[in-house]
């Protein structure tokens, strides 16, 4: 089978589209022929050697995708021909993937392979952020960093669905337009005096800030109201400054860490959370932007496009 691989760490030039052996199934695994694969920044970090990798060279990145079961391997509840997606299975950048039965998420007929590969990782992240990390209530004001990114677009819509006012932060006027199109009430640019603007928009500060940048953490606290919350779930802009516990005490603010893998702990949790996400999509409560599509053999171009930060929404790879 073909796979997008790399044997050394570095820029996108290290990527190679190679023939490799098919996966050898363990007892609890099913074999899936991938129809669409989600590309994420984690794949960039793995290619550069910044994230943990499984196996030996040639390495295969990717954790998210969707496809058709070609060997159910006697696992109860699955059969050949079933359509499934997955959000947390390694070696996804390949024509065939061994998927633990506990990680396989059945796809409703209304959810295409492309939509599943576009939405599972980022959509399930947005789902837990708005319903677990912070239990969004009607009437609240939320601030979302990188609001035109894959998580940001979905988190904006879920927050609106739950009755919140959404303020977004992004890097360009074109991305601001995308965020506004998907429901944000107000969007500011990082080049603006955004802290002043946010405090003017929401007197006393916002109820919660979703910070995926990291280096902005101190600024996020400065626009959070007393008794408010900052949810820290990414470091795309670098390491954050240390948080002063005395500030937390004096203002009664809280900080919560966010990691999807803390929530996808069982087959039941994966399927329950995915079902809610799929129902929102099927009912048109949230809209998923059309992804940018590359063939798996064009992995270098896809990586370059993601790293350019010119993209909004999702990039998917088609075997």
pLDDT per residue as tens digits for the range 223-247:
999 999 999 999 888 889 999 999 9
* pLDDT tens string 73-109: 999 999 999 999 999 999 999 999 999 999 999 999 9
CB 207 within 8 A of CB 201: no
Where are the domains positioned within the chain?
A: 2-120+264-318, 138-257
> Can you give the pTM of this predicted structure?
0.93
The answer, yes or no, to whether residue 47 has pLDDT greater than 80, is: yes
Say whether domain 138-257 belongs to CATH 3.40.50.1220: no
Q: What pLDDT score was predicted for residue 313?
A: 72
Q: What pLDDT score was predicted for residue 168?
A: 98
Whole-number percent of the chain with pLDDT over 90 = 92
C-alpha distances (whole Å) from 305 to each of 7, 12, 128, 237 are 21, 10, 28, 18
Q: What pLDDT score was predicted for residue 174?
A: 93
Among residues 181, 170, 156, 142, which one has the least CA distance to residue 236?
170
| Predicted confidence band of residue 124 (pLDDT cuts 50, 70, 90) | very high
Any residues with CB less than 8 A from the CB of 55 and at least 6 apart, and which? 90, 91
Q: What pLDDT score was predicted for residue 247?
A: 97
* pLDDT tens string 264-308: 999 999 999 999 999 999 999 999 989 999 999 999 999 999 988
Q: What pLDDT score was predicted for residue 217?
A: 97
Reduced DSSP (H G I as helix, E B as strand, rest coil) percent helix, strand, coil of the chain, to 5: 35, 25, 40
Mean pLDDT within 2-11 = 97
Q: Lowest-pLDDT range, 48-52, 68-72, 167-171, 261-265?
A: 48-52
Q: What pLDDT score was predicted for residue 2?
A: 98
Q: How many CA atoms lie within 13 A of 222 on its CB side?
A: 11
The answer, yes or no, to whether residue 254 has pLDDT greater than 80, is: yes
Q: What pLDDT score was predicted for residue 93?
A: 98
Mean pLDDT within 25-30 = 97
Q: What pLDDT score was predicted for residue 98?
A: 98
Q: What pLDDT score was predicted for residue 308?
A: 87
CB 189 within 8 A of CB 173: yes
Is 97 buried (19+), middle (13-18) or exposed (0-12) by CB count in 10 A? buried
| Predicted confidence band of residue 55 (pLDDT cuts 50, 70, 90) | confident
Among residues 281, 240, 295, which one has the least CA distance to residue 109?
281
Q: What pLDDT score was predicted for residue 270?
A: 96
Instruction: Name the more confident of 50 and 91.
Output: 91
- Level-2 CATH architecture, domain 2-120+264-318: Alpha-Beta Complex (3.90)
């Amino acid at each position: 089978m073909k796979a997008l691989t790399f044997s050394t760490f570095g820029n996108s030039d290290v990527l190679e589209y190679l023939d490799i052996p098919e996966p050898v199934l363990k007892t609890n695994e099913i074999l899936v022929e991938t129809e669409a694969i989600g590309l994420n920044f984690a794949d960039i970090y793995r290619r550069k050697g910044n994230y943990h990798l499984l196996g030996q060279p040639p390495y295969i990145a990717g954790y998210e995708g969707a496809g058709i079961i070609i060997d159910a391997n006697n696992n109860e509840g699955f059969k050949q021909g079933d359509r499934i997606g997955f959000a947390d299975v390694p070696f996804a950048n390949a024509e065939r993937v061994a998927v633990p039965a506990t990680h396989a998420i059945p796809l409703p007929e209304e959810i295409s392979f492309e939509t599943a590969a576009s939405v599972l990782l980022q959509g399930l992240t947005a789902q837990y952020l708005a319903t677990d990390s912070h239990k969004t209530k009607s009437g609240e004001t939320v601030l979302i960093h990188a609001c035109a990114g894959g998580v940001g677009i979905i988190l904006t819509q879920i927050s609106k669905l739950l009755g919140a006012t959404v303020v977004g932060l992004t890097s360009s006027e074109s991305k601001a337009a995308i965020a506004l199109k998907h429901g944000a009430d107000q969007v500011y640019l990082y080049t603006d005096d955004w802290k002043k603007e946010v405090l003017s928009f929401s007197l006393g500060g916002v109820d919660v800030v979703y910070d995926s940048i990291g280096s902005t953490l101190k600024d996020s606290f400065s626009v959070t109201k007393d008794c408010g919350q900052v949810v820290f779930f990414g470091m795309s802009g670098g390491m954050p400054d240390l948080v002063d516990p005395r500030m937390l005490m004096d203002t009664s603010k809280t900080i919560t860490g966010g990691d999807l893998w803390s929530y996808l702990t069982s087959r039941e949790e994966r399927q329950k959370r995915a079902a809610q996400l799929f129902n929102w999509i099927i009912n048109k409560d949230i809209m998923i932007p059309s992804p940018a599509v590359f063939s798996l053999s064009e992995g270098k171009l896809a990586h370059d496009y993601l790293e350019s930060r010119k993209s909004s929404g999702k990039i998917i790879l088609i075997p």
